[in-house]
Structure 1
Amino acid sequence: MYDFGSIVGHEQIIEHLQSAIKMGKVSHAYIINGEKGMGKKTIAYTFAKTLQCGEAATNSCNTCKSCLQVESGNHPDVISVTHEKLSIGVDDIRVQVNGDIAIKPYSGPYKIYIIDDADKMTEQAQNALLKTIEEPPAYAIIILLTTNSSKLLPTILSRCVMLNLKPVSSDAIKENLMKEYNVPDYMASMSATFSQGILGRAIRYASSEEFTQSKEEVLHLLKYIDDMELYEIMEAIKKLSTHKLEINDYLDLMILWYRDILMFKVTKNPNLLLFKEEYKFISEQARKKDYEGIENIIIAMNKAKIRLNANVNFDTVMELMLLTLKEN
């Protein structure tokens, strides 16, 4: 359910949005920026639902016709801008936003456009949207959801209220998993720890029967990676990619491993490790590797994630990453 009271974390952003509603100072354009799984859509639709609610309060009533329409995805004045191609083109914006926004709301006080993957807009599409953001009708609100707001034009950034989502505490995520999803204590704790403050990721981990097994496979690879040949590592990663979790999840686990190595190299404190039970292997790798090498590996893995998200060939991406890994 889209409800401010059920959102985990993001208290400052919720307070900002509710305050804007209460004081009648709602902006015509917002950017909600954060990693996948942080709750951008939930916040956007909760905000839209509250604005359209017949009770006109700082939280939705969840019972009026408007609230029920938003929940079912059928509210005529809450429009989800879609795209079929990898990028959002100028025609997508012209047809779904610019060509529609002049029509007054059918039933609600506002007409709200939610553009997911807004950082995938082409420059032409952004320029087309900019004209609408600069001179919107009084009833119009545009909400852009991004994982990388720096890809938006400075002119768009300057005309929107920026809301950057921050990681949620592990304790809050664990509590939510146990309360809302009936996840056992140990699994909730592990999923929360490795989610890095991203609730959606924690839910995915907790609901995957393969997560524990896959985590062990990743750990086996990382513990013995220095003694493996390049083709052996490649085969191991290909095997991982056939499981239910996304390849980015495995790369995240690998990045956390090397961050643990870096953390231990700096602090020598095993209590700060995520992979505490693997202290023996982490301390040994920390002793062998230098700071620059570890940082190069983490950078290479983050680059691999970016390339995979841009649909670069899987084998090519992995080979480039593994070469850096073996070199360091």
Structure 2
Amino acid sequence: MTSRAFITGVSGLELTAAEREFIRGELPWGLILFKRNIEAPDQVSALVDEFRSLVGEVDAPVLIDQEGGRVARLGPPHWPVYPPGATFGALYDLDPALGLKAARLSSRLIAADLIDLGITVDCLPLADVPVAGADAVIGNRAYGTQPAKVAAIARAVTEGLEQGGVLPVLKHIPGHGRATADSHFRLPTVDTAREELERTDFAAFQPLADLPMAMTAHVVFSALDPAQPATTSATIIRQVIRGGIGFQGLLMSDDVSMNALAGSIADRTRAIITAGCDMVLHCNGKLDEMRDVARETPELADEALGRAKRALAARKQPEPFDRQAGRAELEALMDRVGTA
């Protein structure tokens, strides 16, 4: 059977009977994990394994947001703390080669943590370029404020994940850095001229257009489409994401349950698919909403199916890696930032 074009969250540390029935019947393409789903390594591995068993795909993608800093679903006592993206930017300013090395090493260590649990996709890197006055939702998650620097560090982060056998998801395309509101709570509108967006925000994503997957921004760009955020804008997806930026990989929405989007969950899901996203992401684990998403998403087919297959085929086997030595090296690099 063919998977449906959505990625689902679940409610807790283990699947309920109703969730098992839902997953077995609706066949979501992937599972995304949050802190509410994570207690200990064996428990996470069991949850991942059961999901894959229910959908009948041993390599079904399991996703997580493990960036470092304040966006980290895994943490002590079982998993290390990693620095936020801005730390790599600060080291890059001191020595670009060391900044890239630290970014690559951090994501390589994160990948090792994830692969141990069977998690094969990390929603990283960010290529958002924040500006003065923007909402703090991006803040120190960003690598910097110059597009070329952001793209270079994002590439290093991607390399570390890929070397560890984890697929990256580029976000939040075509840019969340100018948003003056947190799209978890309300819809941001950016009134910047298209020429400036192309020179800054969009420019950070262009060198990363070859990545296998990307996640949209729930942001209105009034110069391009004053009525719809990028996630539900056929104009932005066609002209900017697929066109100007040149991204041809699997395009997933940011979380369909975020308050930036209007209408019912069913309405939002239809709008996301109609606009040209390949995949709907639903995160909160509410079963009634999960059912609405499933009803409104098609089975993967045609171009979306091809992109999904190519994305999964891009995952590499982890390269040999001395985790203890890598962690010591990362700590030494972080000390360089602290003493600068």
Q: What TM-score does the superposition give when structure 1 sets the normalisation length?
A: 0.27
Relative contact order higher in (CA < 8 Å, ≥ 6 apart): 2
Q: What TM-score does the superposition give when structure 2 sets the normalisation length?
A: 0.26
- Select the structure of larger CA radius of gyration: 1
